[in-house]
């Protein structure tokens, strides 16, 4: 019997489908070949038990035996420590995987999230805030990621949890044509999302929410 349980929403509206963060955990679990099952919590009515597992009322969270973990970075770090398929085995490689795991979230997504929130809410164009966050993403982040990715296939030598997070973060930038000027970033996302484990994770998430529509 599996002891890994991934909890996500029972349903979400159309726009975020394919991008709900449970995909990061699904992807890692598929790469590692770890058995798991998916459970759900209501999207529309978030109860106190939900907040015990995820204090901001979001998803996903992962339970491994009696340990419950929220934050996609923490879940992927936990899985990386369980599986050699997700993290290099030498100390230097492990350290690189961990620093890039943080960089994906706290340097790149830190810039891409406000950028995408402005797009989602229709607040782009000739405003100071749009110029501020568009410049932050392009000049301070993507320009440098392009230089990094021009020189390597994966962030920590071999494919790792860092690539799952970085590719997933950049994938949302690509959705809004943000990678047009960055061929190495674009190719990196294409390379990562061509992996069978991503293809399955993505299809599984879409099927999960489609089944909720049909129910």
Q: Three-state SS across the chain?
A: CCCEEEEEECCCCCCCCCCCCHHHHHHHHHHHCCCCEEEEECCCCCCHHHHHHCCCCCCCEEEECCEEEECHHHHHHHHHHHCCCCCCCCHHHHHHHHHHHHHHHHHHHHHHHHHHHHHHCCCCCCCHHHHHHHHHHHHHHHHHHHHHHCCCCCCECECCHHHHHHHHHHHHHHHCCCCCCCHHHHHHHHHHHCCHHHHHHHHHHHHHHHHHHHC
What is the rounded CA–CA span in Å between residue 61 and residue 75? 8
Residue 156 in contact with its own copies, rule: CB under 8 A = no
Residue 133 in contact with its own copies, rule: CB under 8 A = yes
Among 14, 66, 177, 213, binds its own copies (CB under 8 A): 66
What is the rounded CA–CA span in Å between residue 78 and residue 42? 25
Question: Count of residues for the chain?
Answer: 215
Among 34, 38, 113, 206, binds its own copies (CB under 8 A): 113
56 vs 176 by CB, closer to its own copies = 56
* Binding letters toward its own copies, positions 38-57, x by CB under 8 A: -------------x---xxx
Residue 128 in contact with its own copies, rule: CB under 8 A = yes
Residue 33 in contact with its own copies, rule: CB under 8 A = no
We find the least distance from the C-beta atom of residue 16 to its own copies, in angstroms, to be 15
Contact region for its own copies (CB under 8 A) — 26-34, 94-102, 183-191, 196-204? 94-102
Among 16, 18, 114, 157, binds its own copies (CB under 8 A): 114
Residue 151 in contact with its own copies, rule: CB under 8 A = no
71 vs 204 by CB, closer to its own copies = 71
We find the least distance from the C-beta atom of residue 200 to its own copies, in angstroms, to be 25
103 vs 164 by CB, closer to its own copies = 103
Residue 136 in contact with its own copies, rule: CB under 8 A = yes
Binding footprint of its own copies on the chain (CB under 8 A): 51, 55-57, 66-67, 69-74, 77-78, 91-92, 95, 98-99, 101-103, 105-107, 109-110, 113-114, 117-118, 121, 123, 127-130, 132-133, 136, 140-141, 144-145, 147-148
């Amino acid at each position: 019997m599996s002891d890994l349980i991934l909890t996500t929403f029972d349903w979400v509206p159309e726009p975020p489908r394919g991008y709900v963060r449970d995909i990061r955990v699904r992807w890692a679990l598929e790469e590692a070949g770890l058995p798991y099952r998916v459970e759900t919590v209501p999207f529309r009515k978030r109860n106190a038990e939900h907040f015990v597992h995820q204090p901001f009322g979001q998803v996903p969270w992962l339970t491994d035996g009696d340990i419950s973990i929220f934050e996609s970075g923490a879940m992927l770090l936990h899985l990386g420590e369980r599986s050699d398929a997700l993290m290099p085995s030498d100390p230097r490689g492990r350290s690189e995987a961990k620093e890039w795991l943080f960089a994906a979230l706290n340097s790149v997504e830190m810039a891409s999230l406000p950028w995408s929130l402005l797009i989602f809410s229709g607040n782009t164009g000739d405003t100071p805030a749009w110029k501020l966050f568009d410049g932050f993403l392009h000049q301070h982040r993507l320009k440098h990621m392009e230089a990094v990715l021009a020189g390597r296939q994966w962030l920590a030598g071999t494919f790792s949890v860092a690539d799952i997070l970085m590719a997933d973060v950049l994938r949302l930038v690509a959705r809004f044509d943000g990678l047009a000027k960055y061929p190495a970033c674009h190719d990196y996302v294409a390379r990562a999302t061509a992996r069978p484990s991503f293809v399955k994770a993505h299809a599984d998430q879409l099927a999960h929410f489609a089944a909720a529509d049909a129910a």
